[in-house]
Structure 1
Amino acid sequence: MLSRRTVLAGSAALLAGGGQAAAGPVRFGIIADPQYAEAPPNLTLGRYYANSLDKLRAAVATLNGEDLGFVITLGDIIDRDVASFERILPIYRTLRHETRFVLGNHDFAVAPEHLGRVPALLGMEARTYDFALGGLRFIVLDGNDVSLFAPPPGDPRRALAEDRLAAAKAADQPNAQRWNGSLGDSQVAWLEQRLAAARTAGERVVVFNHYPVAPENPHNLWDAARITTLLGRQPHVIAYFNGHNHAGNYAERDGIHYVNLHGMVDTPDSSAFAVVEIAGDRMEIRGHGREPSRSLTLKAA
């Protein structure tokens, strides 16, 4: 597994900087859905699981040539089987940047006895967390919180997930899919608290999650409307990045840029990842491979 030192290296420096960190742009690398498994490709879905090792090596080589504050992967590091982590995580160790992870649904496609180990395998001290860099507060959510696959068998969140999915189906929501998830009430309360703290500190906020919430899509969180309503009331939230929908997507709502990155696992050899730079009233996304580049104007807080 990644050592805690590797994953959290530099965290103290980031947090010490808080919202008043040094001037200059904030730059970070971002990857979505490597979804590695030592398995033949699924030609129906267009997923080439084993090829992700070489794609990730090439992405790391490119990102190591950049001046970045951190590199974050937006979930689905693996497709299945806890042993897959042992093959892909050594590639992440070759990053010279701080390495951070978001939990995805496929990261929990492991035997029940391993479900509770997944965050630790990724060096994560908590399934949700936040950190500050250069006047920005980055908030990492766990969209698997209330789902049919991440909580251990018998956990009451599984029963709640069944209820939420049934309600979504009754409302004929396109995201009423068993492979989606939602946030528990305690996580939403935590998110509200971190948003309030960031506003008090004068920090702009970027949110990371595995699941999209906008625009409407079959891959969205079951409680997407609750999250977009909450974020839309926050004048200091500027962006929300996610994976999960491998085709990629984009929306702007309430001045917030909702950016869905393309999945790295798709296609035999073309990759997908990006470098993001935030400075002043601009967010520049420089895409690599299938990931498009975007030049976006940020709202004033």
Structure 2
Amino acid sequence: MPDTRAAFTVDPNRGPSDPLFRFGVIADPQYAAIPPNRELNRYYAKSLGKLNEAIETFNAAELQFVVTLGDIIDRDFASYDDILPLYSRLRHPQFFLLGNHDFAVAAQHLPAIAARVGLERTYYDFAGGGYRFILLDGNEVSLFAPPEGDSRRAIAADHLEALTAAGAANAQRWNGALSDAQFAWLDQTISAAEQAGERIIVMNHYPVYPANAHNLWDSERVADRLTRSRHVVAYFNGHNHAGNYGALGDIHFVNFKGMVDTPDSNTYAIVEIFEDRIAIHGFGREESRVLPLARG
């Protein structure tokens, strides 16, 4: 069922040059109370201060919601006890996606991850301002998120084996895929949004385009479904901390940079939606972009 917590309408009193609405984006805080990995340029404990800074910026802006694109923590179930209270300072509705590192916990905690961050479902959708937001769970079929003995782990092993045999760059144990049931839900949700005349923004922890080592294992079937809809305008994700951008037809694929990287520079964004464009205002290392929207 759609999540209605963030349902909103466009302000009828907005000026002609004002956006329809705005929202905040965070990718990969990947917090843990551990020493940095300087080889990977990851400073896990510093993400608390960076998140505080982002929340202060968001609270000073008029936003409809804030979304975190996965990897809230780096490891250890207790890490949630440190970082989740910071989110309670947000004055806006907040939404979480889960990433691969969110499941780097002791096996007995795996079934509790979604509830720990307040999710009834790990993939869901909501609407507002003439848009349908579709939030996917790229961990559903993986070697780390399903509990031990779950049949999805065997399906994941088959995915990885086939990709490895094909020499695919994304044949990595730290990637995952959608289940067939979730893919069918994605297809149905896109069709329902089309019938409602809504534009669509899809979000996931994992990229699907351009091709790189971080992509969802079933990135090709997901990208193909998105490009068959004239209503899908953008796909937002994290996971690849370096960031990335690509376009397929009229769809913009934006990979936001990882907050956990570097000892002292931050990265997050405020996204403004206009009738004819998406404006991404990057803070710190995040790039600012203006993405044109196709008419119709």
Q: Same fold (TM over 0.5)?
A: yes
Which residue of 65, 68, 75 maps to 1:70?
65
Contact 2:5 2:93 in 1 (8 A): no
Which residue of 249, 253, 261 maps to 1:258?
253
Contact 2:170 2:217 in 1 (8 A): yes
Correspondence for 1:111: 106
Partners of 1:92 and 1:299 lie apart in 2 by 35
Correspondence for 2:7: 14
- 1:191-202 to structure 2, matched below 5 A, reads 191-202=186-197
> Kindly tell me: are residues 12 and 92 of structure 1, through their superposed partners in 2, closer, same or farther at Cα, counting changes over 3 Å?
closer
1:14 alignment partner, SS class: coil
Report which of the two has the higher share of helix.
1
Runs of 4 or more, structure 1, over 2 Å off, are 21-24
Partners of 2:275 and 2:234 lie apart in 1 by 14
What code does the residue aligned with 2:141 have?
A: V
Deviation of 1:13 after TM superposition, in Å, equals: 6.3
1:189 alignment partner, SS class: helix
Correspondence for 2:20: 25
- 1:31-50 to structure 2, matched below 5 A, reads 31-50=26-45
Partners of 2:6 and 2:216 lie apart in 1 by 33
1:294 matches 2:295: no
Correspondence for 2:15: none
Partners of 1:279 and 1:292 lie apart in 2 by 19
Correspondence for 2:184: 189
Deviation of 1:204 after TM superposition, in Å, equals: 0.2
Deviations 1:74-111 (A, max 9, x none): 00000000000000001000000001100100000011
2:174 alignment partner, SS class: coil
Partners of 1:141 and 1:98 lie apart in 2 by 18
Contact 1:130 1:138 in 2 (8 A): yes
Q: How many residues align?
A: 288
Correspondence for 1:228: 223
Deviation of 1:26 after TM superposition, in Å, equals: 1.8
Contact 2:6 2:64 in 1 (8 A): no
Deviations 1:47-82 (A, max 9, x none): 000000000001100110010000000000000000
User: What is the TM-score normalised by the length of structure 1?
Assistant: 0.94
Partners of 2:34 and 2:58 lie apart in 1 by 27
Partners of 2:266 and 2:275 lie apart in 1 by 30
Contact 1:26 1:133 in 2 (8 A): no
1:205 alignment partner, SS class: strand
Partners of 1:300 and 1:123 lie apart in 2 by 37
Partners of 2:115 and 2:11 lie apart in 1 by 31
1:88 matches 2:83: yes
1:139 matches 2:134: yes
- 1:205-220 to structure 2, matched below 5 A, reads 205-220=200-215
1:137 alignment partner, SS class: strand
Deviations 1:8-63 (A, max 9, x none): 8xx44617x5xxx5555121000000000000000110000000000000110011
Question: Percent same amino acid among aligned pairs?
Answer: 59
What code does the residue aligned with 1:222 have?
A: W
Contact 1:115 1:151 in 2 (8 A): yes
Deviations 1:200-247 (A, max 9, x none): 110000001000000011000011000000000000000000000000
Which residue of 146, 149, 152 maps to 2:147?
152
Partners of 2:295 and 2:169 lie apart in 1 by 33
Deviation of 1:300 after TM superposition, in Å, equals: 2.4
Partners of 2:11 and 2:200 lie apart in 1 by 17
Correspondence for 1:5: none
Partners of 1:218 and 1:77 lie apart in 2 by 21
> Kindly tell me: are residues 13 and 58 of structure 1, through their superposed partners in 2, closer, same or farther at Cα, counting changes over 3 Å?
closer
1:177 matches 2:187: no
What code does the residue aligned with 2:197 have?
A: G
Deviation of 1:254 after TM superposition, in Å, equals: 1.8
Partners of 2:139 and 2:6 lie apart in 1 by 29
Partners of 2:169 and 2:74 lie apart in 1 by 23
